[in-house]
Amino acid sequence: ATSRSMATPVAAVAAQLEKFKAAFAREDLEACVKLLAELKMGMLSFGSLPPAAPSAPSSSQQQELLLAREILEYGTLVSIKTVDIPAFERHIAQLKVYYADCGSLPASERQYPILGLNLLRLLAQNRIAEFHTELELLPVELQLSNEFIKFPAQLEQHIMEGSYNRVLSAKQSGAYAKEGLYFMDLLVDTVRDEIAECSEKAYHSVSAAELQTMLMISSEQELREFADQRDWRVANGLVTFGGQDDKPLALPASQLIHESLAYAKELERIV
């Protein structure tokens, strides 16, 4: 009787998950969001999920855990595609329990791509302390060998070293070229802001054309809008940084451009 009562909701959720996968494959995000909500409602009928997950689950209990884990994994991917980053963070928080505390389950092929995406998110959001906390939870050998973990780890190292051109040695996987695109775009924005802050500290003024190239801004109008946000003055082909009148020009602007543009511009090409 127990096996029969557990099998019924599991079978229903499994069937619903197949419908979700079909919608996900055809990139019908509206259907994905709707089906994902229904799948989560179905998970409420499972009695073996964390924090009540058994240390030695039976076959039926393991099926519940595997289904729930797969649903949450797809939830992270849908969250990125719909640019719902708070939902991505919630799914990650739930999944980490399955990855850490449900060691009896077969390994998931999505685990490290998803954990790598989370590292990429933290890096893109400039949450460096949290990035290192998450990275330290993973074995060192994994950081060196798994392509999904290795990419954000190397990327962060290059950024911290200021070796922007070396980021090209860390290649992104095909999966990251799709699901990671949003975070890569966000990372470019973060880098742009950091380059702007460095420029403010290092120079009194910079050629508008050179700064536009360095910041990967596509038009003079966009540069003016960016400058307005930071209280810069654009006139006569020069960008003058605010509050820096007493600062000498120590280095030519082109040197900063050549050092930083190699990273910031090529970063977009990775995806």
59-81 vs 111-124: helix crossing angle, rounded to 10: 40
The neighbouring-strand residues paired with 240 are 205, 233
270: how many CB neighbours lie within 10 A of its CB?
18
- Phi, psi at 181, each rounded to 5°: -60, -40
Q: How far apart are alpha carbons 74 and 186 in whole angstroms?
A: 22
b/e per residue 30-60 (b: at least 16 CB within 10 A):
eebbebbeebeebbeebebbeeebeeebeeb
Residues 6+ apart with CB under 8 A from 166: 158
Q: Which residues pair with 207 in a beta bridge?
A: 238
- Measure CA 188 to chain center: 12
H-state helical runs in 52-207: 59-81, 85-101, 111-124, 128-136, 140-145, 147-161, 174-179, 181-202
Determine the pLDDT at residue 159.
Answer: 74
C-beta of residue 271 within 8 angstroms of C-beta of residue 177: yes
Q: What is the mean pLDDT of each run of 10 residues along the chain (271 residues)?
A: 56 95 95 96 90 84 93 95 94 94 89 93 90 93 88 81 51 55 75 82 88 80 91 91 54 47 49 42
| Contact present, 63 and 102 (Cβ < 8 Å) | no
Q: Which amino acid is at 254?
A: S
pLDDT of residue 7: 46
Q: Give the span between the Cα atoms of 156 and 135, in whole angstroms.
A: 11
Backbone angles phi, psi at 234, to 5 degrees: -110, 120
Both tokens of 206, joined, read 């910079």
First to last CA, the chain: 52
Give residue 110's pLDDT: 93
